[in-house]
Structure 1
Amino acid sequence: MALRETTQTAESDLFRQELVNLINLRHPLVQLAQKIDWDSCDQRFGGLYKAGIGRPGHPIRLMVGLQLLKHTSNLSDEEVVAVWVENPYWQHFCGEQYFRHDFPIDPSLMTGFRKRIGESGCEFILGLTVQAGLATRAVAKTSLAVVNVDTTVQDKAVAFLTDARLLHKARMALVRQAKKLGIKLRQSYERVGLASFVRSQRYAHARQINRAKAQNRKLRTYLGRVIRDIERKTQSDDTRTERLDKLLEIAKRIHSQPRKRSEGDPPKLYSVHAPEVECIAKGKIHKQYEFGVKVGIVSTSKESFVVGAKSLPGNPYDGHTLQACIEQAQRVSGIQPKEAYTDRGYRGHGCDSSTLKVWIAGAKRGVTAAIQRKLKRRNAVEPVIGHLKSDGRLARNFLKGIEGDAMNALLCGAGHNLRKILRKLRLLCAQLGITLRQFLNNTIACSTRLMPQAV
């Protein structure tokens, strides 16, 4: 798949106005487009396309720009493409020369581009936003050496998890796949299975636990019968596919896993379509458990600029994740952090003290006045996480698989950085307008005083 040529041409169209003649060139998004190194994107991602195979690919600046706009504005793939058609500033940001009235791409190509670039490509995009922050002075180069580190949970797009829902959805997924493959089941249990699931939820809501457990046993029985029926009818033919084998494995684990996991048991499954989901205990009254993956956030201590967002599958101990988060921050920013400020959950981190000085909240020995101020500043990473979840897409991840968790976290960090840069440019533009207005007023006043009075 070769890349399409850029739409920028030296010759002007007689019947169309260029975007630069229609928009305000002092707009923050126009200024930001000039600060991003788009040529490096072509060099980094251009090798992922090959000429002579398939349909020509869309320009890399367009694809990268859509990803950045999506996470800056907290939109879905479909929404960002729809808004792009209506917004001339977004089209200029993505490299268009003239205003377009058609969709630039099919929204499904956003997923294909993310799969093509992978986690390393998303790290590169996060690094682009850091370089743009340095170019716009939204973050200082010296600030990249002092960082705050904390972990949070990136929730997955799954429904509230109960045993009855898991058993019901596993049976539904198997029946749906069997219909696609033309496997005629003895009984699908669609009607009685749905009735048992509804009764189970109602009994549980009414605190009639014994009746709810009886319905759960029925759901487990229905799932076991469907599993055995599919295995019998696909044992001697070639209708078994990789998708069916994966669903059967997931359904067997859900059918056999106990309600409470004990030591030595395999990891419990909490979702059919997202088996990588983990149950992470928070210990908070309003939200005791969260279902997703742990993410390590690294932000600068002064400007709260995100320089690292590391997905951490397996729910590891916070202290054991510090080294990986710092290494990612170094790859993204190109600068080795010298000081890291963490909470008490990072005790026993085991990082090399010769290259990185780790200060844990509550430390007393060797703490100077400057270190004490930075320790208090460590709490600034908490509102950063809040903005990543409320203004970004970290609160609910819709991307698939473990790699989707990693890419979503990195792109959320890139969107957070762009929001900070745009705010900085917006304030500078407002200050410049006030200064220019004051200059014009002073000039008019001076010229009025020097003007000779009319007789």
Structure 2
Amino acid sequence: MYRKQKQQDTQAEEFELPFGGKLAADNRWVILAKIIPWTEFVAEYAAIFTEVLGAPAKTFRMALGALIIKEKLGTSDRETVEQIRENPYLQYFIGMSAYSNHSPFDPSMLVHFRERIDMNLVNRLNQKIVKQVLESQEEEEVKAKKSEVEDSKSEVKNRGKLILDASCAPADISYPTDLGLLNQARKHTETIIDILYNSVKVKNSNKPRTYRKIARKEYLLVARKKKVKSAERRKAIKKQLQYIKRNLAYIQQLMNAGASLLELSNRQYKMLLVVAEVYRQQLWLYEHEKRSIEDRIVSLSQPHIRPIVRGKAAKNTEFGAKFSASYFNGYVFLDHISWDNFNESGDLKSQVEAYKNYTGYYPESVHVDKIYRNRENRDWCKERGIRISGPPLGRPPKNVSKETKKQAQEDERIRNSIEGKFGQGKRRFSLGRVMAKLPHTSLTSIAISFLVMNLSTLLSRLLWGFFCQFFRITSFFPWFISEIDYLVKFRQQKLIFISA
């Protein structure tokens, strides 16, 4: 049940502190709380709760705020709750009106928050925040140059630079091997056999022999070696397949003897289905001597994860969700995400159209890598007056002008900014290792990372604006400008002296 609450109008100065004092208005969490439009998405969040009875659910601001805090600080679920309990600024950020020394919710609630807040909702919130900032900037430009803006409105031209690229958000799984997956599958079947046998051991006194100790020794004999020959590995895989085949036959016999799958938990029943599919895939790979198969399972606990072949020098293959993103004006957006591998060049048209719907005009240029520069995308961009980066198709000319080389270097320099955003998301935030286990909660975590990256960019720009405004009204700023002019003139004179 979601209980409708009044909009929180508590200001930072009105937040009740038991030890006296007030919250600082220039604190980063207070500034972020004012930027995020909490109330515009409450109705969509409340529509999830259809039951009338039951304990009231946590508010949308508390749920989303906790996820943002976790991503911003890079902490675990338990540590996030402890940080909120100890910090009054974080309590104000999630919507509390007074400081409390008690935890606002249990750490397990963060799992439910990720389930309730959909990835699409986070993306719309991300776009809403950035759009408000861009509109405020345009209003300031209108006030400064009113006549020029009126002329530009009469003739809608392409404006801005759109940067597109794709990457992968690796999941938190061990590196998968065929032998390792079969060993894990064998152990799960042994556990299921024990549970089913205990339910019917009165009728059948002979417990099935699984040879688990022998199977483990045979697995470790190969897994502990640094270098394993292909024939030796293939022989070990065959043995593990035989053990799993025998165990699955035993499970069927126990079911025929009266055992019920209701004795298994939901997780164990799901694992049984995954093991059966893994056995089918690995048996086909063994019999046909292949290394790839469609919808290959690489993790028993997370069967939705697929191998993403990217061809990078450090990691040729990553295991996680592949996404394509767009970047402009310093902000990055999540456009397409899938657990299956896809060709990101097919997203160029939809991403450019999304840019037009978002800003009202097409971009002046689109900066992409080689995979996007096919003939279809080039013709499509040319019809709309959009310049696509990179050299033209066909044989390169013998003599390349300096302007063309300079333009190519400038395009590549501009395209590097989205690579920097990916690096920020993977090193500073959780895009480098997604810790969520369920498919929909993992997508929410990835979307939250993009939201927090834009919030961090927006916060840094606001703080830089305050910094510049402070030095403009002090005597330090004119002295700082004069010192820069002096250094520039001194360097120019030094260069002239050296050339002479």
Query: What range describes the TM-score normalised by the shorter chain of this pair?
Result: 0.7 to 0.9
Separation in 1, partners of 2:103, 2:158: 40
CA offsets 1:293-329 (integer angstroms, 9 cap, x no match) = 32112111x42x1122421332112212334545666
Aligned to 1:91: 91
CA offsets 1:364-419 (integer angstroms, 9 cap, x no match) = 89x99889745541221111111111111111122335434432332211111112
Alpha-carbon shift at residue 360 of structure 1 (Å): 3.8
With over 3 angstroms needed to count, the CA separation of the structure-2 counterparts of 1:275 and 1:74, relative to structure 1, is same
Secondary structure, counterpart of 1:421 in structure 2? helix
Secondary structure, counterpart of 2:54 in structure 1? coil
CA contact under 8 A between 2:77 and 2:108: conserved in structure 1?
yes
CA offsets 1:66-103 (integer angstroms, 9 cap, x no match) = 12222222333333222111222211111211112122
CA contact under 8 A between 1:130 and 1:307: conserved in structure 2?
no
Separation in 2, partners of 1:318, 1:308: 13
Separation in 1, partners of 2:238, 2:69: 48
351-360 or 230-239, larger mean C-alpha shift: 351-360
Letter in 2 for 1:98: A
Q: Which runs of 5+ in 2 are unaligned?
A: 142-156, 202-206, 263-268, 395-402, 480-500
Correspondent of 2:184 among 164, 169, 194: 169
What percentage of residue pairs aligned between the two structures are identical?
Answer: 19
Alpha-carbon shift at residue 106 of structure 1 (Å): 1.9
1:202 aligns with 2:224: yes
1:219 aligns with 2:240: yes
Letter in 1 for 2:433: R
Alpha-carbon shift at residue 433 of structure 1 (Å): 4.9
Correspondent of 2:251 among 217, 220, 230: 230
Correspondent of 2:298 among 267, 270, 292: 270
Q: Superposition pairs for residues 152-163 of structure 1, below 5 Å? A: 152-163=167-178
Aligned to 1:252: 279
CA contact under 8 A between 2:310 and 2:316: conserved in structure 1?
yes
Aligned to 1:192: 214
CA contact under 8 A between 1:310 and 1:409: conserved in structure 2?
no
Aligned to 1:361: 390
The normalised TM-score by structure 1 is 0.81
1:318 aligns with 2:344: yes
430-439 or 22-31, larger mean C-alpha shift: 430-439
286-295 or 185-194, larger mean C-alpha shift: 185-194
Correspondent of 1:387 among 424, 447, 450: 424
With over 3 angstroms needed to count, the CA separation of the structure-2 counterparts of 1:111 and 1:60, relative to structure 1, is same
Cα RMSD (Å) = 3.9
With over 3 angstroms needed to count, the CA separation of the structure-2 counterparts of 1:342 and 1:275, relative to structure 1, is same
Q: Which runs of 5+ in 1 are unaligned?
A: 443-455
With over 3 angstroms needed to count, the CA separation of the structure-2 counterparts of 1:188 and 1:70, relative to structure 1, is farther
1:420 aligns with 2:457: yes
Separation in 2, partners of 1:251, 1:264: 13
With over 3 angstroms needed to count, the CA separation of the structure-2 counterparts of 1:54 and 1:376, relative to structure 1, is same
1:288 aligns with 2:316: yes
Separation in 2, partners of 1:85, 1:19: 15
Separation in 2, partners of 1:358, 1:39: 40
Secondary structure, counterpart of 1:292 in structure 2? strand
With over 3 angstroms needed to count, the CA separation of the structure-2 counterparts of 1:136 and 1:231, relative to structure 1, is farther
CA contact under 8 A between 1:344 and 1:362: conserved in structure 2?
no
* Higher-RCO chain (CA-CA 8 Å, sequence separation at least 6): 1
Aligned to 2:101: 101
Alpha-carbon shift at residue 344 of structure 1 (Å): 0.8
CA contact under 8 A between 1:119 and 1:406: conserved in structure 2?
yes
CA contact under 8 A between 2:119 and 2:444: conserved in structure 1?
yes
With over 3 angstroms needed to count, the CA separation of the structure-2 counterparts of 1:291 and 1:45, relative to structure 1, is same
Letter in 2 for 1:417: N
CA offsets 1:41-73 (integer angstroms, 9 cap, x no match) = 213322222462321001111111112222222
Secondary structure, counterpart of 1:96 in structure 2? coil
CA contact under 8 A between 1:157 and 1:397: conserved in structure 2?
yes
Separation in 2, partners of 1:134, 1:72: 23
Q: Superposition pairs for residues 274-353 of structure 1, below 5 Å? A: 274-300=302-328, 302-303=329-330, 305-326=331-352, 333=358, 338=363, 339-348=365-374, 350=376, 352-353=380-381
Alpha-carbon shift at residue 166 of structure 1 (Å): 0.5
Decide which structure has the larger Cα Rg and report it: 2
Letter in 2 for 1:58: K
Alpha-carbon shift at residue 116 of structure 1 (Å): 2.2
Letter in 1 for 2:298: Y
Aligned to 1:447: none
Alpha-carbon shift at residue 283 of structure 1 (Å): 2.5
Correspondent of 2:270 among 234, 243, 247: 243
1:17 aligns with 2:13: no
CA contact under 8 A between 2:189 and 2:272: conserved in structure 1?
no
With over 3 angstroms needed to count, the CA separation of the structure-2 counterparts of 1:136 and 1:59, relative to structure 1, is farther
Secondary structure, counterpart of 1:258 in structure 2? helix
Letter in 2 for 1:286: A
With over 3 angstroms needed to count, the CA separation of the structure-2 counterparts of 1:84 and 1:188, relative to structure 1, is farther
Separation in 2, partners of 1:261, 1:276: 24
Aligned to 2:82: 82
Secondary structure, counterpart of 1:215 in structure 2? helix
Separation in 2, partners of 1:418, 1:261: 50
Separation in 2, partners of 1:236, 1:358: 71
CA contact under 8 A between 1:296 and 1:312: conserved in structure 2?
no
145-154 or 393-402, larger mean C-alpha shift: 393-402
Separation in 2, partners of 1:357, 1:180: 64
Separation in 2, partners of 1:357, 1:20: 58
Separation in 2, partners of 1:93, 1:15: 11
Aligned to 2:166: 151
Letter in 2 for 1:80: T
CA contact under 8 A between 1:173 and 1:247: conserved in structure 2?
no
Correspondent of 2:445 among 390, 408, 419: 408
